[in-house]
Chains A and B, each alone.
Chain A
Amino acid sequence: MVFSSVGFLFYFLPLAIGLHCVVPKSWRNGVLFVSSLVFYAWGEPIYVLLMLFSTLLDYSLGLAVDRWRGRPGAKWALAASVAINLSLLGVFKYAGFFVSQLNALTGLALPVPQLSLPIGISFYTFQTMSYTIDVYRDHVRPQRNLISFGAFVSMFPQLIAGPIVRYADVEAALYQRQLSLEGFSKGIWRFLLGLAKKLLFANAIGLAFSNIQAQPVEGLGALTAWLGIVCYFFQIYYDFSGYSDMAIGLGKMLGFDFPENFRYPYAATSVTDFWRRWHMTLSSWFRDYVYIPLGGNRRGKARQLFNLLITWLLTGFWHGASWNFVLWGLYYFAFLALEKLFLSKWLDRAPKFLGWAYTLLVTLVGWVLFAFESLPQGLAYLSRMFGAAPLLDAGFVYAFLSCLPLLVLMALGAVGLPAALASRWSSRLRPGAEGGLRLLAALVLLLLCTASVTAGSYNPFLYFRF
Chain B
Amino acid sequence: MRLSRPYIRTLTALFAVYLLFFALLGLVLPDRYVSSNENRNLQQLPAFSWERLFSDAYTEELERYLSDQFPLRDGFYALNNELSLLLGQRDFSGFYLGTDGSLLQMHDALDAKVFRQNLAYIQAFASAASSLSLPVRLLPVPGASYIYPEKLPYGGKEGDVDGLFDEASNGAFDLIDVRQALLDHKQEALYYRTDHHWTSLGAYRAWEAYLAQTGRQATPLSAYREELLSDSFQGTGASAVGLWGLPTDRIYAYDCGQSLQLELNLNGQLHDSLLFRDHLATRDQYAAFLNGNQPLVQIRGENRNGQHLLIVKDSYANCLAQFAIADFEQVDLIDLRSFNGDVLQYIEENGVTEVLVLYGVKNLCEDKNLYWLGRSAQAWAQNPS
Contact = CB atoms under 8 A, between A and B. Distances in A.
Contacts of B236: 460, 463-465
B77 A438 contact: no
Interface stretch (B36-44, B112-120, B182-190, B204-212): B36-44
B192 to A, nearest CB: 13
Contacts of B217: none
Interface in B107-161: 153-157
B340 interface: no
A443 B90 CA distance: 26
Contact of A450 (B20, B22, B87): B22
A438 B53 CA distance: 41
Interface centre among A7, A400, A451, A458 (most CB of B within 10 A): A458
Interface in B202-254: 236, 239-240, 242
A448 B3 contact: no
Interface in B27-62: 37-40, 53-56, 59, 62
A93 to B, nearest CB: 20
Nearest to A461: B93
B22 A397 contact: no
Contact of B287 (A18, A184, A464): A464
B26 A10 contact: yes
B59 A42 contact: yes
Contacts of A108: none
Contacts of A456: 67
Interface in A424-450: 426, 431-432, 434-436, 438-439, 442-443, 446-448, 450
A448 B83 contact: yes
Interface stretch (B6-14, B268-276, B325-333): B6-14
A406 B87 contact: yes
A5 B10 CA distance: 25
A185 B70 contact: no
B343 to A, nearest CB: 18
B117 to A, nearest CB: 19
A439 B53 contact: no
A403 B19 contact: no
Contacts of A105: none
A188 B12 contact: yes
B383 interface: no
Nearest to B24: A10
B346 interface: no
A417 interface: no
Given A398-B155, A439-B7, A457 B84 contact: no
Given A182-B8, A394-B157, A464-B39, A454 B70 contact: yes
B8 A185 contact: yes
B111 to A, nearest CB: 13
Main secondary structure of the interface of A (DSSP, over half): helix
A416 interface: no
Interface string A1-32: 00001110111011000100000000000000
A459 B40 contact: yes
A204 B242 CA distance: 17
A448 B239 CA distance: 20
A453 interface: yes
Contacts of B22: 10, 450
Contact of B15 (A5, A436, A442): A442
A230 to B, nearest CB: 14
B37 A447 contact: no
Contact of B293 (A43, A188, A466): A466
Interface centre among B23, B94, B293 (most CB of A within 10 A): B23
Contacts of A256: none
Interface in A171-210: 181-182, 184-186, 188-189, 192, 200, 204
A117 B290 CA distance: 52
Contacts of A73: none
B90 A462 contact: no
Interface in B287-326: 287, 292-293, 314-315
Given A6-B67, A10-B26, A405 B86 contact: yes
B73 A458 contact: yes
Interface in B333-385: 337, 363
A461 B94 contact: yes
Nearest to B157: A394
A402 interface: yes
Nearest to A422: B1
Contacts of A42: 59
B88 interface: yes
A460 B8 contact: no
Given A454-B67, A462-B39, 6 more contacts: A11-B66, A181-B8, A398-B155, A398-B157, A435-B3, A442-B11
27 contacts: A6-B63, A10-B19, A10-B22, A10-B23, A11-B23, A14-B20, A45-B53, A45-B59, A186-B3, A188-B15, A398-B153, A401-B153, A403-B89, A431-B2, A434-B7, A435-B6, A436-B7, A438-B11, A447-B79, A448-B83, A450-B76, A451-B76, A452-B83, A454-B70, A461-B94, A463-B40, A463-B240
Interface of A: 5-7, 9-11, 13-14, 18, 42-43, 45-46, 181-182, 184-186, 188-189, 192, 200, 204, 394-398, 400-406, 409, 426, 431-432, 434-436, 438-439, 442-443, 446-448, 450-466
